[in-house]
């Protein structure tokens, strides 16, 4: 999925192993830089990345599917 980041700060006090996903900067097929990004807890994700959904048309449908699964889980818990 394509995206971009523009920020002038960095997150401190969180171990790299707790970051949510890997990011790669590729230009003309050449890997320029790689880093980890985003922090998550439960169902919350915080990140600098601005995602271009048109680069991966399946992503919105996948996201909605995950939302519906979460809703079903919540409804199932209430029935218990």
Residues 6+ apart with CB under 8 A from 23: 5, 34, 35, 36, 37, 49
In which band, very low, low, confident or very high, does the pLDDT at 73 lie, cut at 50, 70 and 90?
A: confident
Q: How confident is the model at residue 76 (pLDDT cuts 50, 70, 90)?
A: confident
**Residues 17-42: pLDDT tens digits?**
678 888 888 899 999 988 888 888 87
The whole-number pLDDT of residue 28 equals 94
Predicted pLDDT at 80: 59
Predicted pLDDT of residue 31:
95
Q: Phi then psi for 29, rounded to 5 degrees?
A: 75, 5
Give the global pTM: 0.51
Question: In the chain, where are the structural domains located?
Answer: 2-79
């Amino acid at each position: 999925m394509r995206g971009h980041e523009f920020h002038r700060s960095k997150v401190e006090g969180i171990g790299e192993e707790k970051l949510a996903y890997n990011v790669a900067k590729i230009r003309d097929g050449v890997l320029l830089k790689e880093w980890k990004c985003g922090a998550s807890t439960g169902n919350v994700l915080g990140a600098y990345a601005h995602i271009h959904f048109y680069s991966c048309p399946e992503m919105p449908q996948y996201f909605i599917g995950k939302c519906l699964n979460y809703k079903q889980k919540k409804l199932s818990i209430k029935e218990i």
